[in-house]
Amino acid sequence: MREPAVAGLFYPAERRELIRQIERCFVQPPGPGELPGKAGGERDVLGAVVPHAGYVYSGYYAAHVYRLLGEQAKPECVVVLSPNHTGAGSLIAVSGEDWRTPLGVVRCDRERVERLWRECSVVDLDESAHRQEHSIEVQLPFLQYIYGEFRLVAITIALAELEMLRELGSCLSEICGDCLVLASSDFSHYEPAEMAEAKDRLAIEAILQMDEAELLRRVEEKGITSCGHAAIAAAIAALKGRASKAELLSYGNSGEVTGDHSSVVAYAGIVFRR
């Protein structure tokens, strides 16, 4: 069992307060302004980019994505791709454990995980990469809030090598083709808000074009300090054959909460549609 590493830090550790915090992210600005409506109908959102900072900072921007997902049919499996902030473990590591949060246990999709690490040459089964990594964990309570039970494929990525990310994307497309694919990423870190937005718009433009190579090139050449660009590139590679367009739902930064715009972390919510 993968136990919570950042409950009480990035989000409340107590169940009722966690639900209240999630609902505040939906209903209060800069969130979408209302809770998700009734789920149903065909799911046309195949994947998304969602931020992973503390809920009081980034949860409002993530809520734009989760509100839309909560009003569509539930997928049986969710793939969450994330950066590896800790440096522990393999370069591309999938978890084979169930994950506990204050809202309950998220079950690992062991059949898909088994296939990924056996059939995909770039993927290792490595729990050490996940033990203290926050960027998948913070997505799970939102997913539990909108979906209840679902199966999880959790993958951390510690490199930005295009061909390896494309191979991972190809494996995900084949093995997890009916899953929702989420890339967990914040955007620019600790820069003035205007500078952060100017750089982030370049990265977002490449994401909206669904061009993973151009995204990695711009991040490298422009010094864009997004932490999950490799995860986003892998998600684009996985979704290219099925998604026809990408849409920016939200963009903002921590300064909108703290009032300090001189050094911000930026967040975006982006969806990939069928």
pLDDT tens, 197-221? 999 999 999 999 999 999 999 999 9
Distances (CA, A) of 112 to 168, 211, 230, 237, 272: 13, 26, 21, 18, 22
132 within 8 A of 9, measured Cβ to Cβ: no
Q: Is the pLDDT of residue 41 over 80?
A: no
Residue pLDDT, tens place only, 140-158: 999 999 999 999 999 999 9
Structural domain includes residue 147: yes
Query: Could you give the angle at the alpha carbon of 94 between the alpha carbons of 88 and 98, nearest 5°?
Result: 105
**pLDDT at residue number 38:** 81
Nearest to 247 by CA among 259, 255, 239: 239
Query: What is the chain's mean pLDDT, rounded?
Result: 96
Structural domain includes residue 235: yes
Structural domain includes residue 230: yes
What's the rounded Cα separation, in Å, for the pair 270 and 248? Answer: 4
Q: Is the pLDDT of residue 55 over 80?
A: yes
State which residues form the domain around 44. 15-259+267-273
Q: Is the pLDDT of residue 40 over 90?
A: no
DSSP state of 7: B
**pLDDT at residue number 42:** 84
**pLDDT at residue number 160:** 86
User: Any idea what the CATH number is for the domain that residue 25 is in?
Assistant: 3.40.830.10
Structural domain includes residue 205: yes
**pLDDT at residue number 232:** 98
Structural domain includes residue 8: no
Mean pLDDT, range 69-96, rounded to an integer: 96
Binned at pLDDT 50, 70 and 90, residue 271 comes out as very high
Q: Is the pLDDT of residue 26 over 90?
A: yes
What's the rounded Cα separation, in Å, for the pair 261 and 253? Answer: 8
Roughly what angle, to the nearest 10 degrees, separates helices 229-239 and 162-175?
50
Structural domain includes residue 180: yes
Q: Is the pLDDT of residue 253 over 90?
A: yes
What's the rounded Cα separation, in Å, for the pair 175 and 116? Answer: 7
Nearest to 195 by CA among 234, 164, 169, 222: 222
Mean pLDDT, range 37-52, rounded to an integer: 91
Rounded to two decimals, what is the model's pTM? 0.96
Q: Is the pLDDT of residue 62 over 80?
A: yes
Query: Total domain count for the chain?
Result: 1
Structural domain includes residue 169: yes
Q: Is the pLDDT of residue 37 over 90?
A: no
Q: What does the block give as tokens for 167?
A: 């191979």
Structural domain includes residue 4: no
49 within 8 A of 135, measured Cβ to Cβ: no
**pLDDT at residue number 130:** 98
Contacts of 259 (CB under 8 A, 6+ apart): none
Binned at pLDDT 50, 70 and 90, residue 116 comes out as very high
